[in-house]
Structure 1
Amino acid sequence: MHLRWTAFEDLSVHQLYELLAFRQSVFIVEQASAYPDLDGLDQTCWHLMVRDRPGGALIGCLRARGPWGEEPALIGRIVVGPAARGTGLGRRLVAEGLRFLEREYPRTDVRIGAQAHLQNFYASFGFVTEGGEYDDGGIPHVTMWRRVGVALAA
């Protein structure tokens, strides 16, 4: 597996197209959720792209951003492609996203907008649900926070 962080402005046109097509194939097509994936946040984020090998097929991705103005740090658009499901890649993505934020923006709270059925998964990383469910593209979501001082499991 090959993991690589890239700032938005350093993504090539081909990498950006591949990343957006990958997210669309899961979030919009597979999950049948017509939602605005292009939400204006990608430009302020770092993007983690995971390939099956250097130069190989994209099998997972996420985006992360430190605090931005009044907005908190975040991770999101966490995607594991069909070929990599059941391999633990989802756990590795979230752990890597949290390590990145801790390294680049120490001691900051992190927010995610999680699909409601994944609350226990994110809770295993120290995230806590705050507030009720909301609809995002026809899929129930919750806001979850990982507050400063929560240790990251190995």
Structure 2
Amino acid sequence: MQLNWIYKSFHLLTVEELYAIMQLRNEVFSVEQNCVYQDADDKDQASYHLAGWDGKKLAAYCRILPAGLSYDSPSIGRVVSSPAYRNSGCGRRLMQLAIAKSLAQFNHPLITISAQFYLQKFYSDLGFKQISDIYQEDGIPHIKMQLRSGSK
């Protein structure tokens, strides 16, 4: 699948791009996962946004956060694939690009994520290592994971 990838700071997102991002995050994290939480958490403004587009349809998205916003190291969050694009490889490509963008943007050797526990193998296959026990975040089992640049 050939997607058009964009990588922008919050202030360079168009209104249409931001709307599609918020719509996809709401569709998956709130509705599909039946999770009530505050998605608009004031971290988007300081983050970079990576989105894979199939024409005007948003297929995959994540935000890349600088160190100090969520963790001591940069992090990748709100990782999401549209239900229509699952099992197409776009989620793996999204994370490969996000890792590369984070390492280049912040020149920091670590990336920390809070991963839904059921996705442990997905993230492990990308080089992330589990660094915490399972914990609940918004009623969903999560684990903290880290990737160290140059390791896999």
Relative to the length of structure 2, the TM-score reads: 0.91
1:24 aligns with 2:15: no
> Identity of aligned pairs, percent?
34
| Cα gap change, 1:51 to 1:92, in 2 (>3 Å) | same
Provide the residue aligned with 1:75 in structure 2: 76
| Count of residues paired in the alignment | 149
Counterpart residue identity of residue 119, structure 1: Q
CA distance in 2, matches of 1:130, 1:144: 5
State the shift of 1:16 in Å: 1.5
Q: What corresponds to 1:6 in structure 2?
A: 8
Partner of 2:116: 115
Unaligned stretches of 5+ residues in structure 2: none
Ranges in structure 1 where 5+ consecutive residues have no aligned partner:
none
1:41 and 2:53 matched: no
Deviations 1:39-84 (Å, cap 9, x if unpaired)? 221111110111113xx21111011123247731001111100111
How many angstroms does 1:95 deviate by? Answer: 0.2
Question: Aligned equivalents of 1:102 and 1:137: distance in 2?
Answer: 28
- Corresponding residue for residue 99 of structure 1: 100
Distance in structure 2 (CA, Å) of the matches to 1:133 and 1:107: 26
Question: TM-score by structure 1 length?
Answer: 0.89
Amino acid at match of 1:128: K
Report the Cα offset of residue 85 of structure 1.
0.6
Please give the root-mean-square deviation of Cα atoms over the aligned residues, in Å.
Answer: 1.6
2:65 corresponds to: 65
3-state SS, counterpart of residue 35 of structure 2: coil
The letter of the residue matching 1:3 is W
Instruction: Tell me the alpha carbon deviations over residues 103-122 of structure 1, each in whole angstroms, 9 at most, x when there is no partner.
Output: 22234200000000111110
- Residue 13 (structure 1) shift: 2.5
1:50 maps to 52
The answer to whether the 8 Å contact 1:107/1:149 transfers is: no
